[in-house]
Amino acid sequence: MSNEPAAASHANGGTKKTVLIAGAANLVVALIKAVAGVLTSSSAMLAESAHSVADNLNQALVLTSIERVSKRADAEHPFGRLHERVPEVSHVFIDPTLREDERRARAAKRAAALREAAMRDAAMRDAAGPAHRGA
């Protein structure tokens, strides 16, 4: 039993390190997107840069959650700080952004499938020759 808190602390340290690395990488990506957006005058790229910055706000919320959850029991809180745990609350903010990313991915897949179907149709029309095109 005495190893459980140490193991939990080690796991939280690994999670914290992962979130910090992802956050740093995301900041670099946001900066690259912002520079590319400015150089090419692309509003879409600037929007993507803002999206990457928003992802970092989510990661800050995750770090806050990890810090709050990893606090140990003390004299004032002999059973730990269950009342201070915020992961459930943080999901209220993190979940919608993840769902938005999933929605965008599904929309991109649908768009790719529609493009592929249109290309197949065009290839079939070309293969059918001029009689099929109404000429």
Percent of the chain with pLDDT over 90: 16
pTM listed for this prediction: 0.48
Residue 132 has pLDDT above 60, yes or no: no
- Under DSSP, the state recorded for 120 is H
Structural contact between residues 71 and 80, judged by C-beta atoms closer than 8 angstroms: yes
pLDDT in tens, 18-28: 888 988 998 99
pLDDT in tens, 84-120: 555 555 566 666 766 777 778 788 888 888 889 889 8
For the chain, the domains span: 3-128
Compute the distance between CA of residue 74 and CA of residue 41 in angstroms, rounded to an integer.
Answer: 55
